[in-house]
Amino acid sequence: MDDAAGVGRDEVIRLILCQLSAYGFANLSQAIAVHTKVPMTTDSNSRLAELVQLGLQSEQQQPPPQSQVQNQQEGGATESDTELDAGGIDLGRASRVAEAPQYHMWYKTKHKGTATTAAFSRDGEYIATGSADASLKLIEVDRVRRPSAGSARREDKPVIRTLYHHEAEITGVAFHPNGLVLASCAADRSIKLFDISAAYGKHAFQSFSDNYAFRSIAFHPSGDYLAASGDSPDVRLYSVRTGKAYLMGGGDSEMSATVAQVAYAGSGALIASASSDGAVRLWDGVAGTCVRTIQAHEGRAATGVTFSRSGKYVLSTGLDSCVRLWDVGSGRLVQTYAGAHLDAPNAQAVFSHDESLVMVPDARANAVACWDAQSSALLTRVAEHSQPITWIAASPATPAFMTCSTDECVRFWGAQ
């Protein structure tokens, strides 16, 4: 197709790349991007499918399915949400107590400063890590070898890229849903976007800045927006395409607490934030208003927040040394996970890949505490370190996780 047909070659290829990634073919998409020399953008990864659907509807002279649109706007479950929820946590469903896998360290690499943050790509094929030395590392999971597999060849080393563009400590990382763009935020008051499909290049292609240090970022499921928080009482929403910032408002009339972390629900309908005043706030992702405030940690700071895959629950972490599970619809407390010591201002609990476990770094044990998500039974502590663990990120696809530590190392732990 050429420009005479109304759409340029590069634009068509970008749509194809994003759609391939949405279907789980990130490696193929990256190879095509390199071969065609068409750089990835942060366009919606489902745009091609949407255009095809609209074209087919136009041919058939049928209006769009309004019930589906309305359901998504109201935060209802879509077919994809239902698929994600299969096997996920559901306290209304009886289940036996989970067994924690035997985790072993498969891989370790080192930064030149405290390792501060990490994240898996949506398909679990890549990991990004950040450090106080202002660098980012990109790790390909397929190259991480079991301890019994022997030494890797030099060309098979898991770290495939090291990225530099920040001027201060990296505080958060997030993969775009298309898997080909990495976002990072830092204490230098900036957010940067990197094209990781490009064969070379260590610098960002897009940057946002503000008047405070950023601490957390999260992509909308479409990839069109990026929520951000930090040393400010505000949650900001950035348009990835235009860079324009929107201030989330409403809810509490006067908020002075800083926001440690933000997270999107899988549907994109809600954003959760964890604040130093101990509150977890739920925000309407479209209207930008606070729709619920949960006093989650008895006045102690809330330091982490994440949704279950179904969006039915939100998991909060706080400096009262408790991890709590809340019903999103009612704001009701449904489970408390106790027995670990939490003292870091960015302490964050995560679900395991199948949501059978809740995991959090235990500051006194320098290990990861694992609870049965359904019963809240403390099962074990794994991944012992000699120095404090600063961050944990769980694989969305396999029984594996990544830890960061003050010893400057990041470690990949897999089930044997």
Domains and CATH numbers, the chain: 3-64 (1.20.960), 103-415 (2.130.10.10)
By residue count, the chain amounts to 416
Instruction: Report the distance separating Cα 258 and Cα 245, nearest Å.
Output: 18
State both tokens at 322: 């408790």
- Residue 71's DSSP bridge partners are none
Mean pLDDT of the chain: 86
CA terminus-to-terminus distance, the chain? 50
Q: What is the pLDDT of residues 361-382, one digit of tens each?
A: 999 999 999 999 999 999 999 9
Q: Looking at 7-142, which runs of residues are DSSP E strands?
A: 103-110, 115-120, 126-131, 135-140
pLDDT at 379: 97
Listed residue (12, 177, 13, 173) closest to 80, CA to CA = 177
Instruction: Report the distance separating Cα 131 and Cα 134, nearest Å.
Output: 6
Instruction: Report the distance separating Cα 376 and Cα 324, nearest Å.
Output: 10
- Cα within 13 Å of Cα(67), Cβ side: 1
Q: What is the pLDDT of residues 286-319, one digit of tens each?
A: 999 999 999 999 999 999 999 999 999 999 999 9
State both tokens at 126: 């890549």
Question: Is residue 67's pLDDT more than 50?
Answer: no
pLDDT at 148: 58
* pLDDT-derived band at 24, boundaries 50, 70, 90: low
Question: Is residue 42's pLDDT more than 70?
Answer: no
Q: Looking at 288-408, which runs of residues are DSSP E strands?
A: 290-295, 302-307, 313-318, 323-327, 333-337, 350-351, 357-362, 367-372, 378-382, 389-394, 400-405
Q: What is the DSSP letter of 249?
A: B
Ramachandran quadrant class, 80 (left: phi over 0; alpha: psi -120 to 50; beta: rest)? alpha
Residue with more model confidence, 98 or 403:
403
Q: Which amino acid is at 114?
A: T
pTM to 2 decimal places:
0.80
- Residue 372's DSSP bridge partners are 357
Q: What is the pLDDT of residues 150-174, one digit of tens each?
A: 665 656 789 999 999 999 999 999 9
Residue with more model confidence, 45 or 238:
238
Q: What phi and psi values does residue 301 have, to the nearest 5 degrees?
A: -60, 135
pLDDT at 197: 87
Percentage of residues in the chain having pLDDT higher than 90: 68
Listed residue (269, 402, 262) closest to 346, CA to CA = 262
* pLDDT-derived band at 35, boundaries 50, 70, 90: confident
pLDDT at 52: 80
Q: What is the mean pLDDT of residues 130-147?
A: 92
